[in-house]
Amino acid sequence: MQKKHVISVENDFKTTDSIEIQEQIAGKPLNHKARKRFGQNFLHDQNIIERIISSIAATSEQHLVEIGPGKGALTEHLVDAAGKLDVIELDRDLVPLLQTRFSDCRQFTIHNADALQFDFSSLLVDPLHNSLQKSNKLRLVGNLPYNIATPLIFHLLDNIGIIQDMYFMLQKEVVDRLTACPGTRSYGRLSILVQYLCQAELLFIVPPNAFTPIPGVDSAIVQLTPRMAIEENNKLQNTTAAGLAQLSYIAKAAFAQRRKTLRNNLKKILPDEQIIQCDIDPGRRAETLTISEFVALTNQYAQLHVA
C-alpha cells in the first residue's frame, strides 16, 4: 500500500470552509485573479512548462524549493519528481488552493512567507537533531516577479553555500543583466556579483502569451549554478560576506555614472595610483572591466581599509 504523505502549512494560516475551497475539493476550478501588488502572471503554456521541467530534470534524491508556485503549474510536475518539495508562497489566498491540490502528493510543505525574508537554511535542518543536513543542497525554482527579482537574487547569494543550482523565470531584461559580458549595455553590478559566484546561462525566451494575464515584455529562463571553486588569482581576499559587500560597493560606485571613468567614479574611495597598481587604466569606464579586474580593485580597497 502506497504511503500517503501529509502536507504541512508552516505559517499562521488557518484553513477555512469557504465556498471556494469546497469547490476546489469537489474538483471545480478555483477562481483566483492575479494580483498586481504581488506581480503575478500565471504560466499556462504546456510546451513552456515541459521545457522548464526538462531543463531542471529533478530526481527522487533531490530537495527542491519553488518560490512563488502560483496555482501550481510547475508544482504538479516537480512534486512527482523530487524527493522533497518546499514551496514558498506569499499570497495567503493561494495557500489553500495548493494545500488542496497536492494533499495526496508525496512529501510536500507549503510556507506562507515572504521569500525576501525567508531563512533557506532552515529547510536543511534535521528536526530530530536540530542540526544542518549536509547530504543534499537545495535546488531552487521560481517564476519571480520583476519587483523582487534583484533583491531576492542578492538574498539567495548570501545562501550560496547550501544551493546546488537555481532555475528562474524572469523578465528578459533582468536575465540579460545576469548573463551580460563586459562591454555591453546590460553589464553592471548585478552581472558582476552573480557571475563571481555562479555560472549564469540564458536557457530560452518565453513569450508574453504564455502567461495570464499577458505581460508587456518577454520573459526568459536563466540557470544559475554556483561555482565549485574560484581561481586563486580571481578570488576575493576576504571570503566572508563582508568581502562580497566590498565587491558590491566597488561595483556600485564604479557604475554610478556609466559614461564617466573610474578616475571620476572612484576618486573618493580609490585614488589613481591604487587603480594603477591593479594594472588598470583609471581612464577606463566600468563597463570595460572584467570581473577579475573588479576583484583586484576590491582587494586593493580592502588592503587600504584593514581594521
Do 27 and 171 have their domain in common? yes
Q: Which domain holds residue 182?
A: 8-226
Q: Which CATH number do you get for residue 79?
A: 3.40.50.150
More confident residue, 21 or 296: 296
Which phi-psi region, left, alpha or beta, contains residue 27 (left: φ > 0; alpha: ψ -120 to 50)?
left
Average pLDDT over residues 200-221: 94
Do 206 and 274 have their domain in common? no
Do 217 and 252 have their domain in common? no
The pLDDT tens digits for 221-248 are 999 999 987 777 778 988 777 899 999 9
Do 217 and 265 have their domain in common? no
The pLDDT tens digits for 60-114 are 999 999 999 988 999 999 999 999 999 999 988 889 889 888 888 767 999 999 9
- Of the three residues 175, 210, 226, the one that is the final residue of a domain is 226
CB 170 within 8 Å of CB 148: no
Query: What's the pLDDT score for residue 106?
Result: 66
Determine, yes or no, domain membership for 2.
Answer: no
Determine, yes or no, domain membership for 249.
Answer: yes
- Of the three residues 226, 257, 286, the one that is the final residue of a domain is 226
Do 259 and 197 have their domain in common? no
Q: Would the pLDDT of 1 be above 60?
A: no
More confident residue, 275 or 146: 275
CB 203 within 8 Å of CB 223: yes
Query: What's the pLDDT score for residue 7?
Result: 39
Do 272 and 248 have their domain in common? yes
Do 119 and 247 have their domain in common? no
Determine, yes or no, domain membership for 1.
Answer: no
Per-residue confidence band for 178, with pLDDT thresholds at 50, 70 and 90:
very high
- Tally of CB atoms within 10 A around 144: 21
Do 217 and 254 have their domain in common? no
Whole-number Å distance between alpha carbons of 40 and 32: 11
Do 250 and 217 have their domain in common? no
Determine, yes or no, domain membership for 171.
Answer: yes
Any idea which residue has 524527493 for its cell?
A: 83
Do 208 and 244 have their domain in common? no
Do 114 and 20 have their domain in common? yes
CB 94 within 8 Å of CB 106: no
Domain count, the chain: 2
Query: What's the pLDDT score for residue 188?
Result: 97
- Of the three residues 180, 208, 226, the one that is the final residue of a domain is 226
- Tally of CB atoms within 10 A around 205: 12
Query: What's the pLDDT score for residue 280?
Result: 98
Do 84 and 221 have their domain in common? yes
Determine, yes or no, domain membership for 283.
Answer: yes
Q: Which CATH number do you get for residue 284?
A: 1.10.8.100
